[in-house]
Amino acid sequence: MPNNKIRLEDLESYLWGSAVLLRSTIDAGDYKKYIFPLLFFKRLCDVYDEESQIALEENGGNTEVLEFEETHSFAIPKGSHWNDVRNCSENVGQAISDAFRNIERANPVLLKGIFGEAPWTNKQRLPDRLLKDLLEHFSSLTLSIANCPEDELGQGYEYLIKKFADDSGHTAQEFYTNRTVVHLMAEMLQPQSGESIYDPTCGSAGMLISSIAYLKEQGREWRNVSLFGQEITALTANIGRMNLFLHGVKDFEIVNDDTLENPAFIEKGQLRKFDMVLANPPYSIKQWNRDAFAADKYGRCFLGLPPQGRADYAFIQHIAKSLRDETGRAAILLPHGVLFRKEEKEIREALIKSDLIDCVIGLGANLFYNSPMEACILMLRKKKEPKKVGKVLFINAVNEVERKNAESYLTEEHINRIASVYKEWDDVQDFAHVATMREIEGNSWSLSLPLYVHAQNVPSAEEELSLAELVADWSDLSSEIKESLRKIGSLEGGENDD
């Protein structure tokens, strides 16, 4: 098989070209339902063909070798190959759907349900002509490993994820997290070979992949790392599985379910423990089962019950309970409000007194996807070094941010500065401060950054909320008032209009 190495810029143009074909009939928010499965299907078939060619060359052209199970990394049943579907002249959507189901059945452990449930047979949205155009577009390149190694195809996949997030608007946070912030989190946690790594709200698995990328950059063994993730949205969970597969990761498990209501990873009736956790939980969700969490059989409500309007501390407690006693450490990307909101004071105080908090890092504005809200990283560590016991490191990095082409991100210089200060774990004027438990108690158990590090050009008011949080709070209150008025009107036998 000829080696026609695909340049990254050509790969990105090729991938985005597939989405352009859908623009006339499919909403931008739905591109991912169709493009990701087709791309994955094409990759599987091209790698399958590549493995066949290699086996034939190594065995003198003996075709019997193609029937050996060890020849292939996965099975492509007869009649379900890309070329079989490409040669269909009618009912193309049905052919695609049938091929997907056949491949999933032939690989029940590796690929069960991975192609999702998109309505391929809806000819009004996906006429045969459009699907033929898509198939021909994808057929223009051969996505073998020789042409497109895992990491490079993975980069193309990440590019597509970001492009779809750009097109689909403010709901994209669950699908895409600022990659430079993820890079910082991995840099600070320093994944090690042989460890287990977990993301309870994994989205498209970008944080898990970042951990593998860190090990590769360090020249360390990464194939013996076990990756685990849970994601509430079925399509996004499947994209995460595809993403890991296309990055060459074999030892992973991604489960589609609600982490707070039904945690997926259980051992002997307890939450499974991991060496490392990275997470960007959904920001302050309100629709969650607070009553069930209050009586959680896994003991995740050990610090206190979070308010119904904000589940942030439910995720924090879930993560704390998921850490191994000796090696457990976590980096959690959260809204700044968790550091000082009054309604969470008691639970925050309990968390501080537990001495699980290793470090609090304040990040600049606009690093949450499509939101001006400021973010923070909460670092937890189950077993602290002696010098860290009873203390918390505060890093006020709100000015460590670059903005270009309407995007905010961390540069390598920013990442290296923050990570090196975290590693040294000492005071740095106007940037970092090691606070004792007594000092934090003196600040009424607030973790607000300006109380500990007086960085330049940073607001000093402890309770100052970002504009985004103020707007969100106002919107929530307005909705609650409207709902209350409707209920009153209903009780009185009348209607209450907005």
* CATH (domain of 16): 1.20.1260.30
State the Cα–Cα distance between residues 264 and 318, nearest whole angstrom.
12
Is 319 among the domain residues?
Answer: yes
- Strands 407-409 and 402-404: what pairing? antiparallel
Q: Which residues are bridge partners to 357 per DSSP? A: 380
Q: Indicate if 181 and 260 belong to the same structural domain.
A: yes
Q: Which residues are bridge partners to 253 per DSSP? A: 228
Please count the structural domains in the chain. 2
Q: Indicate if 419 and 347 belong to the same structural domain.
A: yes
Q: Indicate if 237 and 378 belong to the same structural domain.
A: yes
State the Cα–Cα distance between residues 239 and 354, nearest whole angstrom.
37
Q: Indicate if 128 and 194 belong to the same structural domain.
A: no
Whole-prediction pTM value? 0.85
Q: Indicate if 175 and 317 belong to the same structural domain.
A: yes
Q: What is residue 46's three-state secondary structure?
A: helix
State the Cα–Cα distance between residues 396 and 420, nearest whole angstrom.
14
Backbone angles phi, psi at 317, to 5 degrees: -70, -40
Which of 437, 184, 450 is closest to 339 using CA atoms?
450
Q: What is the domain-level CATH number for residue 200? A: 3.40.50.150
Q: What is the pLDDT of residue 170?
A: 42
Task: Give 10-residue mean pLDDT values along the chain (498 residues).
Answer: 78 91 82 91 95 90 84 92 96 97 95 94 93 96 91 82 65 60 94 98 92 94 97 92 89 96 96 97 91 96 96 98 98 94 96 98 77 85 96 94 77 94 95 97 96 67 45 47 49 42
C-alpha gyration radius of the chain = 25
CB 153 within 8 A of CB 43: yes
Q: What is the pLDDT of residue 400?
A: 86
CB 349 within 8 A of CB 298: no
Q: What is the pLDDT of residue 348?
A: 98
- Per-residue CA distances from 275 to 187, 259, 325, 389 (Å): 15, 18, 9, 19
State the Cα–Cα distance between residues 192 and 196, nearest whole angstrom.
9
Tokens of 19: 């989405």
Q: Indicate if 73 and 218 belong to the same structural domain.
A: no
Q: Indicate if 226 and 139 belong to the same structural domain.
A: no
Q: Which domain holds residue 213?
A: 168-451
Q: Indicate if 181 and 304 belong to the same structural domain.
A: yes
Is 467 among the domain residues?
Answer: no
For 117, how many CA atoms within 13 A lie in the half-sphere containing its CB?
3
CB 26 within 8 A of CB 34: yes
CB 378 within 8 A of CB 332: yes
Domain final residue, candidates 116, 148, 180: 148
Q: What is the pLDDT of residue 395?
A: 97
